[in-house]
Structure 1
Amino acid sequence: MTGGPDAVLVLGEALIDLVPSSDDPGAHRAQPGGAPANVAAGLARLGTPSWFAGGLGGDGFARLIEERLVSAGTRLDLCARSELPTALAVADPGPDSTGYHFHLHDTATFRLPDRTGEVARFGAVYAGGLAAVVAPAAAVVAATARAGAEHSVLVVDPNVREDRTLDHASAQRRLRELCGRARILKVSDEDVTALWPGAAPEETCERLAGENRLVVLTRGAAGSTAFTPDLERVSVPAERVEVVNTIGAGDAFMAGMLNWLGGAGAFRDGGAVRLSSDRAARMLTSASRVAASVVARSGTEPAPTASLRPPVRW
């Protein structure tokens, strides 16, 4: 196995989204999903080397997930495998975002491998999503995040989800701790409101960035803003497209953002937290374009041509 200073290790869940059929509202189609798996596939599609460290089961859904990741170019050397079934997320798409009802427990999806010894091989380590709060995966994510923060660049997208099967207080605590270790943090306005209520999202992001991290706040159609440790704030509008699908848009944004940062060499020597205003704007524009390539069509795969990788490194 190799990695490299611009490669990304993605830790978390790969599951199946059951999405309402556009032809028959009473039917659902199975679509590979899970925020970390979407990010891993998106990175590979955009040209960034990505390794996915998740749990793959022994059913037909697991084979569908594996085919999706392999076809994108994601490496699966670090996955754990078992004969348990794959977790399911029943999607309830809305005009601006998608709600979910989960079937998570006693699945292969959350039997994550311990890869703490591998993190130093990678320029960045991504963590977040359901695996950060669902046992037994949550303990593995926490340990890997600690190692990633020490030996690599820890990237976190909390991707807050509400469901009756999740312990709300425990989930919030775990996600806040995970965000506190991140060097690069991407949050939606909904994430910030859920995790740090009582303050405006922008105020919270400024505080988090002031603790020596790059923070990116996304607001869907309202665009995105980057906050840096010197308290500079840079905003760009969302790409204007006809919305066909919102599932996976935030994950595509994250993949586009990390693809740009990796191409800029920003995983090295603290580069991500020292972005100039111009470079931060370019990063956000690239990420927004990648997200738009997903929103404008069905599925969660970004178009490879959507990326605007920087022409030169630092």
Structure 2
Amino acid sequence: MGEALIDLVPSADDPETHRAQPGGAPANVAAGLARLATPSWFAGALGGDGFARAIERRLVSAGTELGLCARSPLPTALAVADPGPDSTGYHFHLQDTATFRLADRAADVDRFGAVYVGGLAAVVEPAAEAVAATARAGAERSLLVVDPNVREDRTLDPERSARRLRDLCSLAHVIKASDEDMALLWPGSAPGETCRRLAEEGRLVVLTRGARGSTAYTRTGEPVSVPAVPVDVVNTIGAGDAFMAGVLNWLTTTGAHLDGGPDRLPRDQVEAMLGFASQVAASVCAQTGTEPSMPARI
């Protein structure tokens, strides 16, 4: 559940020219899951412009169901990407768009093995209230998965946004976050220590660190770290979302989201999950675009 928007990405041949690329973390995760042969539904909102039609084509071609997607005649939100050597910054055009006209889907969560929330829709009104209500229901009646995916913008109140995202994390059964996310949401505490504390409260917490790999924390075991898969990097946009899709695919196809809870996974399964998700993320880094491909099971 969340935003589907358009990333305006500088062209590799001419940085002054930007290409329009469907994006938004929740939409990327939904499409990524479908590409990995995991049934997914996107509970977002699509507008009435050409960008919305491009987003819809992308989701439908991936195999994502749109039966919970709201419709609006308003335009689509834009994110102007500013890629750097290690990560990508964004400048947003969010106000008065269809992207955040989300409906409360609390009544629907029983239908699904997992409910994913996070990102801009979790902090931008009017979507934020619908996301919060759906997340509360998801925490009670499904597996709630949160990727805070912190974004900063002149139109967003950083303190209020951080509070909303921390509230979602407090409800979650599974948290996937970058080291930058953790530092922004819990300043003054090392990201690893924050992850350990959140895991001890009964969660699976996965910390991603870009080229430095990933670490998972569970309620009962020591942290498990896996290096990033070596790859000639063409693009980093959507790599974290592909990793998230890999984690969800692994949890649901192995049944680990049901058998004792993901916070109690044994070390060998945690390592297998991280290794698989890292391969999925690498498949995005090695190409333009954000569509992952299915690696061999490890």
TM-score tier (shorter): over 0.9
- Any idea what SS the aligned residue of 1:50 has? coil
Instruction: Name the structure 2 match of 1:306.
Output: 295
Question: Structure 1 residue 205: deviation in Å?
Answer: 0.5
Stretches of structure 1 that go unaligned for 5 or more consecutive residues are 1-10, 310-314
Question: Structure 1 residue 306: deviation in Å?
Answer: 2.0
Write the mapping of 1:199-210 to structure 2, written as runs, cut at 5 A. Answer: 199-210=189-200
- Any idea what SS the aligned residue of 2:138 has? helix
Percent identical among aligned pairs is 74
- Any idea what SS the aligned residue of 1:306 has? coil
Greater RCO (CA < 8 Å, at least 6 residues apart): 1
Question: Structure 1 residue 231: deviation in Å?
Answer: 4.1
- Any idea what SS the aligned residue of 2:65 has? coil
2:221–2:267 contact (8 Å) kept in structure 1: no
2:156 to 160, 163, 166: 166
1:149 to 2:117 alignment: no
1:286 to 2:273 alignment: no
Task: Tell me: CA distance 1:154–1:307, structure 2 relative to 1, closer, same or farther (3 Å).
Answer: farther
- 1:183-217 deviations in whole A, cap 9, x for unaligned? 00001000000000111111110000000000000
Could you state the TM-score of these two structures normalised by the residue count of structure 2? 0.98
Question: Structure 1 residue 142: deviation in Å?
Answer: 0.4
- 1:45-80 deviations in whole A, cap 9, x for unaligned? 001100000010010000000000000000000000
1:15 to 2:5 alignment: yes
Query: How far apart are the structure 1 equivalents of 2:296 and 2:134?
Result: 29
2:221–2:266 contact (8 Å) kept in structure 1: no
1:260–1:308 contact (8 Å) kept in structure 2: no
Could you state the TM-score of these two structures normalised by the residue count of structure 1? 0.93
Write the mapping of 1:186-225 to structure 2, written as runs, cut at 5 A. Answer: 186-225=176-215
2:118–2:146 contact (8 Å) kept in structure 1: yes
Paired AA for residue 115 in structure 2? V
Paired AA for residue 91 in structure 2? H
Write the mapping of 1:3-152 to structure 2, written as runs, cut at 5 A. Answer: 11-152=1-142
Stretches of structure 2 that go unaligned for 5 or more consecutive residues are none
1:84–1:106 contact (8 Å) kept in structure 2: yes
RMSD value over aligned CA atoms?
0.9
Paired AA for residue 116 in structure 1? A
Aligned residue pairs, count: 298
Query: How far apart are the structure 1 equivalents of 2:248 and 2:167?
Result: 22
- Any idea what SS the aligned residue of 1:241 has? coil
Question: Structure 1 residue 285: deviation in Å?
Answer: 0.2
